[in-house]
Structure formats: C-alpha cells, structure tokens
Structure 1
Amino acid sequence: MSNRSAVFGGAGFIGTNLVYQLIEDGQQVFNFDNLSGLGNLLNIAELMQQSRHSFARCDISNPEEIRQALLMAAADTIFFCITPKNPEEESSLDNFRTFFETVKEWRNGMTDTKLHKIVVVVSEHYKLLGSYGHMYTDLLKLLDGYVADGLPISSLLVPPAFGPFQQPDSPISMIIYRAIEGETIPVVNPEEKVSDLVYVKDVVDAIVLVEKNGKIGGHYHLSGPSCGLTNLEAADVICESLNEELPPPVGRYQALIEEVATSPVTSDIAKDEANLVVLGLQGKTSLEDALRKTVNWYLNNPRWYNQSRTRFFYLWQNPETVLKIA
C-alpha cells in the first residue's frame, strides 16, 4: 500500500469515507475537490487540522489545476472518485479525458515519479440506473487506451451506496432525512426485494483492496450483499432504529410511510464479482446492520446533519426528483 495518496473527489460521499479510512491507515492524504454538486467541506472539517491531511480545490476540467495538484501531492497512488453526472450525454467523459491526458503528460515529464497505481471508482447512482451501460463501455475503452499509453490504471464499479456523509440524494438517505423531519416517507415498490445496494464502508474496503492487489488494466465489480428484505422491510428497519434512538413525540416512525408504485429501476450493467473475490474480498456488512449503523451515524453527527439538511433542503423536500416518482 502507498504512503502518499491523492484523492480526487475527496469531499464527496464515497471520497470522504475513503479519505477517513486512508488517514486511519496511516497514509498522507492530499484531498482535491471542486466543491460543486454534493461535495461538502463540512465532510472533512474534522481533518483540516490533521497533519496527514491536506485539501485544495481542483477542477478536473482544468489542466493547470490538475498539474498543480499532482505536483503538490507527489502521490504513490491516485484515487479518482468522480463519476459522470449525465452518463447519457456524449460529452460525459470529456473531463475524464482531460484528467488522464494531463496525468499522462505530467508523468512523462517527471522521471522520478513514484506513481504506481491509479484507482478509478465508478459509482452508479440510483436515479440514473439504466443509463450507465453505454457510458461505462466507453469509459473502459478510454481507460484501456491510457493503460496502453503507460498509465497504471485499475477500475472499480460499485452499485448505489449508502452510509455516513451521504446527502439526501438516494432512497436510504431520503428515508432517514424525511423521518427525522417528520415528513411522509415514500417507499417505492414496497413489496419488491431491495435492489443492489452496498454499505459505503464495504465500498472503501473494496477500493483499498483494488489498490493493494488489483492488476494494472483490471476492471473490477462490487455487488451488494445478498438480501431477502423488501423495500418496505428495509424502511421498517430504519424506522425501528429511529424509534429506539430518537422516539417521535407521538406514535412510531412507521406511520409516516407512504407506499408508492412506479417503474422498477435496475442497472443496465452486468456485474461479475469473481475477479474481486480472487483479490481477497471479504464478506460484506448485512443490509440490516448497515442501515442501523447509518441511522446511528446521522443521529451522532447533528452538526453535519443540520448543515446538510439546510444546504440540500430542496432534495429531501422533493423526493420525486431523487426517486424518479412520476
């Protein structure tokens, strides 16, 4: 494992959780994010005074900012945790091309660089499932081209994740926000089995595993744990955890549940976890345990939650924009 890591997208959801883990593992982490979208400085506020963490703004569409970040970090490993927001657009990979072209030029011009691995993390988002297939195929071709040019790239595709530091932009976080605020809780297709969801801590473990053992040019897939829960039962686990830890003034949180029928949302990418298992992938956190841990994290971090609730008010107040409810 490397001693100096650069994380691009390190103030976002997955990037933040990765940064915390890398620092816990004793690494020097250089964290870069342009703080647009869901990137949030409050995510890494506790790290700002730590000697092993450095933060700087960086826009991956700007070659000069990328070069400055690479010179600043002089990293052994680069973690790229930025996924295209609009995978259906032809231009969705333009920023990826800019980034890797700049990295290639920088590496070719630095004879003493110690860079040994670039891990590209591609995270599917619930709202855009069914839109990633074409983009993902094109991305793999793009990455393979840069591997042929000498860049040490491995990639990891992960399903929609949930856990600490997540804004209200997915079904799990949406339920938690709206329950805490006493709003109705939309549960889409309540009797369907929970789709491919994974706890973010398991995502981070898989990222570190690919960095440590993954082959250059390897493309790895992570799947969620096998689960027999329906969407309604998963919502019940969340509500029951809140009942225990933050009892409502009257009744139970389950009374807020509103069942909603809509078209199923599924991934259009066939995932095969076999080559990740070969690397040494361990068992994943069960959905029930992960949901309870996530609820407890939100309740134990009220400053972060209150800031997020205010900043992303529109999202949790308008669940149809997140859950694709007609």
Structure 2
Amino acid sequence: MPSSSILSSGAAVALFAQAAIAYTQVNVPVPFMTKNIDPIVFPGSFDKSHLHSFFGADGVTASTNKSAELENSCTNADNPNDLSIYWVPTFLYTKDGGKSYEPVPLSRFSAYYNLGETPAEVPFPQDLKMVAGKAEGTKPADMPAEAKIEWVCEGMKNPPAPDKNGFPSKTCDTHVQTLLYFPQCVNEATLETAYKDRAHGTPNWCPQGMKSMPQLRFSIRYDLRKALPNGWDGVAPFKQACGDNIYCSHGDFINGWTPTAAKNMVATTSDKYHFAAVDGDRGKAGEKQTCKQKDADPSHGTADYAESVKLMGKRSVEAAGWTSRNRFLKI
C-alpha cells in the first residue's frame, strides 16, 4: 500500500507552513472549461489527449503556444493581471460502480507563488510553459519526487490510509485536496526549466546558466460531500482522466501574467512571513472581473469523459506524458 501518498494532518500542515512562508496567491472558483485538449503535449490535437479541467484565461485553444495569445482573454482568476492558463487531468467520480463517471465538484483551485529554497531572481518570462508530474505514471515510483505530489483529506484530524490507488480509503469529512509543485529555475533565453538542488553547486541552487524564479504550486480542493453523500469505505470511487490512480497526477501552465505584474511578483517572494498581493497594469489583486468566459474554440473537442476515451482509442500515436523530473526541460 502506498503509504507515502497521503500525509497525516499534522505533517501536511507542517509541510504547507514550510513551503508557503513567502507567497502570493491566485484563486479560481471553478474550471471554466473541461475538454480533451493539451496545447503543450498534443498541440492542435482533439483525439490524443485525455480530459483536462482548465482554470484561468479562456483564450486557450488546442494550439496555444505564446503568452500574447492569452492577452485578450477573460479570466476567472481573482487577479486581473493573471491571464495564465492552468490545467490538470479531470478528477472524476462514479456512483454506479464505474459504469459512468462525472467530474468531481470543485471547492477551489489555488495557484501559490512561493519563495522556494532561495530568493527569486527573475520574473516568469513571457511564453514560459511548464509541466509538473508524469502523465503516464502507474505506480508510486513514477511520481517525480521534486513535484511533491500529495492527495490528502484536508485538515482531517485522523486521516484514512491510502487505498491501492493512492486516494483516501475512507470518506473525508472535509475536502479532498491535492498538491503539486513546479520547477523554479529557468534559462531566460531558452525557457528550459529545472528544479533547485544543492547538488548543482550554485548560489541559487539552479543549474549553471539558470536563474531562480518564484515557485508555482497547485493546491486544489474538491468537495465530494454532496456528490457522494454516503461516502465510501475501501477503494475510493474516483479516478483521474489520466488513469485510475494518483500516480499519473500532473499539471500544466502557460504564463499569462502581464510583464509588470510578473516583475512585481518577484518582490512579494522576498518577505519570509507575509502574503503580498500582486498588482499591475490591469488593476489590483482581488478586483472582480465583469467579462463572461467562453470556449475560444467551441466547435472542436469534447467535454464528455466517455467520448474522450473513445476518441483516444482511435488515435495513431502511443500515450504520451511529460515528466517534471529534475532535468532540463524545454517545452
């Protein structure tokens, strides 16, 4: 049984406190779109990707590749300067023993930008794309250690052990929460990224030629209390669109922060103990958006899980996924 996949409540709190001592935060209440596209891994394709849930800027399409392509988006993030797009494999649950699956209701998606092990030196470059995790993972050893992937019962005093797939084996009395960390080193010229490590032997813990940037972390809370009012005991009745387990957990990001706001973010990570809002050319953090989001390419792709699986079965390429292992990544 994968004992490392679920933290005790105390350990989870300690890890969070250690990791988030200097940060800014962007919250998103709901995914604005669920669709079988992945502009980083399968650009332009509508039959190769599993289902993903998208948060943030609605200008994203299967072919999005540049920050400028998100400039005219409507975002459901609570910072008007953040036109980034964030996505993860759709988290699904079943009430009929696996005959059908529906997306798990979301409580909140949060993107934290932290200090990390050493101070940030540079802002996120325009056109930066990152992936954390391993989409083809099937066992605990497949999860990149640097991504610090966790699936927990948020704040639960006596959390259950993980089931055979790594999910909580009994009903959570709060939210099901997952955490995921992204690389925090970048080569500004090539946009290659890597995780920090003392072994690199550099003052900023980054590989030679790379600078330290704020570290992005996903914290996603799902609420199953209404969806599964009777709870569960044993193998949890849910899965990810990438597989039946937590080991394929991954997240994707295309930077859409305005250059001014991205630069302002660097300063927010210099304080070791306080949250700091990031303001910019488009307004102040927390300002409500008046625009209405919509799918930028409604004629292509599907939001239906069963249909997405059927389409993937017809594809002519093998399943592929990106890994965030501590090596140079150019995406």
Q: For this structure pair, what is the TM-score category when the shorter chain's length is used for normalisation?
A: under 0.3
TM-score by length of 2: 0.25
TM-score by length of 1: 0.25
Q: Which has the higher contact order (CA 8 A, sep 6+)?
A: 2
Higher strand share: 2
Rg bigger for which structure? 1
Higher helix share: 1
